[in-house]
A and B are shown apart, each in its own frame.
Chain A
């Protein structure tokens, strides 16, 4: 009865893959194609018209602003990545190897997620009163006598932007790293210890190599999120810094959709290239 023929098997496979394909096609592939198409269109002050012209790209690649902004975007991404990696790895390491009972591990892991119960925007904006000129940080430092005048660079600066990024995205690093670390067989560590490895050696030769997939997944999360962001940069730099997302948002705000689409396409290609390069180092599929 339950004997299925290859043809039926095949059909079932198509059926199972169907819904996902349709969703991806309708909500991912088509919109991206649309953006690609519009990026060649022209625009007036208040309308866009179909055309096939390279003006948008010509301007984009011809303008020093584009390069400056891309450099800034990469700067944000790399610094945020390094910091979230350092913090995320440490937290995951602590949870995975220093907390001994599973109950506590889960409990502490949930504690890490508490900030995520509120919206991204709220967590970001709630930073503003803290490092301001008359904010808590400056008034505390002044009272302690550590500084004489308020530190201006605490807010509305690249420092503030990266601070918020690290706060917002560290969890995206903690979760995958913690996940891979939990799957490292403790026997391996005992074996390394028995073979005379020091703590540092165990870390660099056993734990880090085995948690690379987690690190890589976390890195992809953080880098794509930071490169695609615009609101954090806008609010915490006090609009004084620009990344690629802000270029796009400025264009959209003034109905310059084709120009925004062209920038979006370039950003998409850049992010894909970055991720492509990262994946050259680690074959996530094999490691998982």
Chain B
């Protein structure tokens, strides 16, 4: 036998063995709790839970208004594997499962993305408990307006709103005679000239209105304007006949002039655009079948055909995705993306507006709408403004 026999020894000194074992267990326990470790071990759960509550809603309402909308948004999530949703009347629970192979370190960014996405639609999902006092419309179309010019008669670059009052165009300028819109075009000009600084061009003070109108009254007396226009066709005729070479204009009016084969540019200006938006509102007296018909009309209006038609005149549809299906790739590229036309550009009524290679004035949607300087609005001082406008016209 070589060396001591451990088994024999331990069975002989039984009490000592048990004692040693207990010591070892206790010391082990102490050692275990004393071990260094991560406070929160990294363990990525690739599932997020989204819940929404709408007390009192029916099953259909909840599905339509919440589940579907949330799901549509969540489907855009990066690295998504599947969405599981449980809808009960008034309550929605959605599990957002990411792909198992998705890198764990990118997951927090995705959750942030989801939170932002939910935040975006949250405002649309929350209903006011009482009437807000605001008239609410569903947006249909909008655009960014600027000055229209006749490049063939001006023959030099126009870069600023101030050019409208440039004496060079004496007797050849025009502005629209619709006070609420005209005053803002005026403001763009006065600001560009450095004559008036505005706190808010969309809600001018009486002093700002006075100074703006004064500048234009002086210009009018000096014979700057050939005419003012109030209707669409008037603006087209003024421009097409050459009576006017620079004026306030609307996008379809430009296309109308161009479709007569007369060059006309919707000139982007460095100060930006004056923008406006329109929508459809419902009368509170609508009930039953009439109300359904009104909603159906709105659905139809936004389902794409109208948007496609208007976008081919240079407006923007509030639902560009549906409009896109009613536009050719070339048209979409030209009107929305600001790409050079790959073929002839034709107006909705069939007149040729541009050739292959032409680019829309002002460029893409992002470029144009990204340079909006002010939005049309009804000012607090509306009545005062209308009266001053009458003075201007009578001056």
Contact = CB atoms under 8 A, between A and B. Distances in A.
B394 interface: yes
Contacts of A246: 393
Interface stretch (B31-39, B109-117, B175-183, B265-273): B175-183
A239 B227 CA distance: 6
B394 A254 contact: no
B336 interface: no
A119 interface: no
B390 interface: yes
Contact of A250 (B225, B226, B386): B386
A152 B226 CA distance: 9
Contact of B386 (A46, A72, A254): A254
A43 B382 CA distance: 11
A45 B383 CA distance: 7
B394 A156 contact: no
Contacts of A155: 243
Contacts of B387: 59, 63, 65
Nearest to A72: B394
B243 A240 contact: no
B237 A128 contact: yes
A237 B378 CA distance: 27
Given A129-B241, A239-B230, A256 B225 contact: no
B378 A45 contact: yes
B228 A240 contact: yes
A133 interface: yes
Interface in B223-281: 225-230, 234, 237-238, 241-243
A46 B382 CA distance: 10
B152 interface: no
Nearest to B380: A45
Nearest to A59: B387
Helix, strand, loop or mixed for chain A's interface?
loop
Nearest to B135: A46
Contact of A242 (B179, B180, B227, B393): B393
Report the contact-size class of chain B (Cβ under 8 Å from the partner): 20 to 34
Contacts of B383: 43, 45, 256, 259
A251 interface: yes
B237 A256 contact: no
A240 B393 contact: yes
B80 to A, nearest CB: 46
Report the contact-size class of chain A (Cβ under 8 Å from the partner): 35 or more
Contacts of B393: 239-242, 246, 250
A133 B179 contact: no
B151 interface: no
A149 B387 CA distance: 37
B382 A45 contact: yes
Contact of B180 (A65, A135, A254): A254
Interface in A152-199: 152, 155-156
Which of B174, B220, B389, B391 has its CB near the most chain A CB atoms (within 10 A)?
B391
Nearest to B385: A254
A228 interface: no
A238 B227 contact: yes
A133 B241 contact: yes
A129 B243 CA distance: 10
B79 interface: no
A218 interface: no
A250 B177 CA distance: 9
Interface in B164-186: 171, 174, 177-180
23 contacts: A45-B378, A65-B387, A65-B390, A132-B241, A133-B243, A134-B241, A152-B171, A155-B243, A156-B243, A234-B177, A234-B230, A238-B226, A238-B228, A239-B227, A239-B229, A239-B393, A241-B393, A241-B394, A242-B394, A246-B393, A250-B389, A253-B178, A254-B179
Given A238-B227, A251-B390, A254-B179, 13 more contacts: A63-B387, A65-B390, A65-B391, A69-B390, A133-B242, A135-B241, A156-B227, A238-B238, A239-B177, A239-B393, A240-B393, A242-B394, A256-B386
Interface of A: 43, 45-46, 59, 63-65, 68-69, 72, 128-129, 132-135, 152, 155-156, 234-235, 237-242, 246-247, 250-251, 253-254, 256, 259
Report, nearest first, the 5 A-B pairs whose CB atoms are least far apart: A238-B227, A239-B228, A242-B394, A239-B177, A156-B227
